[in-house]
C-alpha cells in the first residue's frame, strides 16, 4: 500500500470509530437498555427526585410516585421525544 493510500485509510477508520462512539453514547445505548433516569421536582416540597423511565411503556406515560424526601404522592406525566429520547416530566400533587 502506498503512503497516501494508507493515510486515507487511517483517516476513514478514525472517523468511522468516532461515528460509532457517538452513536453508542447517544440513543443506541438508551434504546438497548430501554430505560433512562430523569429528574422531576416534587409538587409538595420542591425537592429534586430521580426516577427510572422505561421506554417500553410508551412515549407518553403517567404514574404515581412517592417523593423520596417527603413521601407524598406525585402524579408524574412523562413525555419522551421520539427523535432525541429526551424526557420531560411534569409533576402534580395527587389529591
Helix (H), strand (E), coil (C) string for 7-18: HHHHHHHHHHHH
**Least separation in angstroms between CB 39 and Zn ion:** 13
Q: Is 64 in the site for Zn ion (CB under 5 A)?
A: no
- Sheet of 60-66: strand order equals 60-66, 73-80, 87-93
Q: Is 44 in the site for Zn ion (CB under 5 A)?
A: yes
Q: Is 69 in the site for Zn ion (CB under 5 A)?
A: yes
**Least separation in angstroms between CB 49 and Zn ion:** 7
Residues near Zn ion, by CB under 5 A: 42, 44-45, 67, 69-70
Amino acid at each position: 500500500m502506498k503512503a497516501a493510500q494508507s493515510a486515507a485509510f487511517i483517516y476513514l477508520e478514525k472517523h468511522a470509530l468516532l461515528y460509532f462512539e457517538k452513536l453508542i453514547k447517544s440513543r443506541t445505548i438508551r434504546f438497548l437498555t430501554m430505560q433512562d433516569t430523569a429528574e422531576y421536582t416534587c409538587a409538595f416540597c420542591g425537592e429534586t427526585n430521580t426516577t427510572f423511565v422505561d421506554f417500553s411503556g410508551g412515549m407518553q406515560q403517567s404514574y404515581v410516585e412517592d417523593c423520596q424526601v417527603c413521601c407524598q404522592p406525585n402524579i408524574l406525566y412523562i413525555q419522551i421525544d421520539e427523535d432525541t429520547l429526551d424526557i420531560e416530566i411534569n409533576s402534580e400533587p395527587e389529591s
